[in-house]
Chains A and B, each alone.
Chain A
Amino acid sequence: MTWIDLVILVVKCIVLSLAATAVFAYFTLFERRTLARLQNRMGPNRAGPGGLLQPLADAVKLFFKEDVTPLMADRWVYLVSPTFALIPAIIIWATIPVGMWPDGQGGNWLQLAEINVGVLYLLAVMSVGVYGITVAGWASNNKYSMLGGIRASAQVISYELALGLTVLGAVMQAQSFSTAVIVERQAQMWNIVPQFLGFVVFIIAATAEVVRAPFDLVEAEQELVGGYNTEYSSMKFALFFMSEYVKLVAMNAIAVTLFLGGWQFPGLQTLTLFVTQQYGAAVGNAVLGLTSLGAFLLKVLALSFVSVWIRATLPRVRYDQLMNLGWKVLLPLSLINVAITAVLNVLLPDAPTLTAIISLVVGVIILAVTANVGRPGKEKRTVKLVEIGL
């Protein structure tokens, strides 16, 4: 590696981090506007045209707020934990191929690091992300924060298993841990068809993993004031806020990479071939890079809309419902998904279309059965009104 490669790598890292942060800023605006639309109101529309400058205004406001450290807080841990939360959220982007712009040496400009255990890296970084929340809750020396932190650790441990097992399904489908290979193998058919069950479980578990509504017990306002970030103010609070949203978008990007074909879309190869023949390889590569990046971002936007939609639709679950769903529904479902994938891929290794159709049908049937039969707490409850003679 020469020094010029090193410089390029550093520049790529900086660009990626800044891009993740910018995505966070405008995702908040997107979420607020969409939520407002879903709730039949306007949303922020005063700062700039259509509220486009609202994220900047928010950032300035957060910067200039007073930065308070509680007197009895564990000072160092309290100061470090926002960074603990943010760093995993940003470095998770390193192995996600956000597009395909060949650099002529077998590499890809639009993927920061191509390591052969890319998917495991994603899982590992995701699991590290909970430390920020847990430790922040402890260090604040506040019972509400502490409860939020404990809830966060329990919830993330529970849902990590289901999440890892569904990811394993996608890995088995591509027979590789590398994110680039997983995307390439989806050129014929996106993984959502053969891994439909896995995709559904992944989306639910990912929502729980980033502690977002309806699984946001970590910061349940009615119960815990603000949850783990009760004692945080100013930029430290903003870092938590940021890590939450960057993690959410990263999770959607992972879902796109693993299940929705990554940067692939039908007709991409034809288009690239055509442009390359007409205008040469460099232009062809550029067109390929830009269109694939656009397709990837469009898919991420669609999934982000779905997560905002979920937030606007579903009420927060109870704690026992959360644990029941994680351990008694999602974990068995993801195990079934792994079993189906393994059996079908060994039995019919040469017929990917047949395998995909069989597993799609089986997955839909299993999901339908689970939704109707396995609903936790379906036993009839009779409510008897009593007169309290106090």
Chain B
Amino acid sequence: MNTLITVLFLIFAAIILASAIMTVTVKNIVHAALWLISSFFGVGALYLLMEAEFLGVAQVLIYVGAVSILILFAIMLTRDLEGSQNRQLTPRWWIALIVPAALFSLLIVPTVMTHAWQLPPPPPAGQPPAISGAQQIGAAFMREYLLPFEVAAILLTVAMIGAIVVAFEERERRRRVLTLAEQVRLRQRQQQRQQPAPRPEPAATAVQPSEATGSET
């Protein structure tokens, strides 16, 4: 059983790493998003392998089901999708590789060296583990880590309000789509204005295209 778990771990780790590398190297940005999803799935599988079902399912629910679909949504609404002319690597890519690797190892090496890993997890002495992962996490959020939890909630609310404010500003600038009756009235007014002092035809019709483009943005 242990070798099976190790083999599975290696497979998932390989999938995660390969997808992550593909995410940053493929030129097509939609493909990059799809590789990112594959990587998220791998992480979810790793959580499952560690018997953290709640985390695993929450990973799929939040990262795969919500975050990535938003990314895809945003990408699909972007004008220039391909970006195939963009160069992926500059000549100094190896510096960019070394510096983050060094910084990351600065962070991870002391943790790996000094942390007291509990492998295998401590067996339940006498009683079976009565509380499942979800309950433990919920209790921890509501008692031990209440302050960080609420700070995060406030931060997210502020971000959401900011997004709404930005979107509303955009909307105020947007020109309203005219109904047929309004268009007719507008044209009549223009024609009335034209009759005393007839202007050349293109100037009068030029109003309509600008209306149309204004309403599309």
Contacts and interface: CB of A to CB of B under 8 A. Distances in A.
Contacts of B64: 124, 127-128
Given A123-B61, A128-B60, A386-B181, A149 B76 contact: yes
Nearest to B60: A124
Contact of A177 (B61, B134, B184, B185): B134
Contact of B57 (A121, A134, A389): A121
B9 interface: no
Contact of A116 (B70, B132, B188): B132
Interface SS, B side: helix
A127 B66 contact: yes
Given A77-B31, A149-B76, A117 B53 contact: yes
B13 interface: no
A377 B132 CA distance: 46
B182 to A, nearest CB: 10
B66 A146 contact: no
B76 A157 contact: no
B29 to A, nearest CB: 11
Contacts of A74: 28, 30-31
B60 A134 contact: no
Contacts of B37: 131
A128 B73 contact: no
A154 B70 CA distance: 8
A358 B37 CA distance: 44
Contacts, number: 85
Interface string A154-170: 10110010000000000
Interface size range of chain B in the complex? 20 to 34
Interface size range of chain A in the complex? 20 to 34
A150 B81 CA distance: 14
Given A127-B66, A156-B69, A388-B184, A150 B77 contact: yes
Contacts of B22: none
Question: Which are the 6 A-B pairs with shortest beta-carbon distances?
Answer: A127-B65, A124-B61, A124-B60, A120-B57, A153-B73, A117-B53
27 contacts: A74-B30, A77-B31, A115-B53, A117-B54, A117-B133, A124-B64, A127-B60, A128-B60, A128-B64, A128-B65, A130-B69, A134-B73, A135-B30, A149-B76, A150-B73, A150-B76, A150-B77, A154-B73, A157-B69, A157-B70, A160-B66, A177-B134, A386-B184, A388-B180, A388-B184, A389-B184, A389-B188
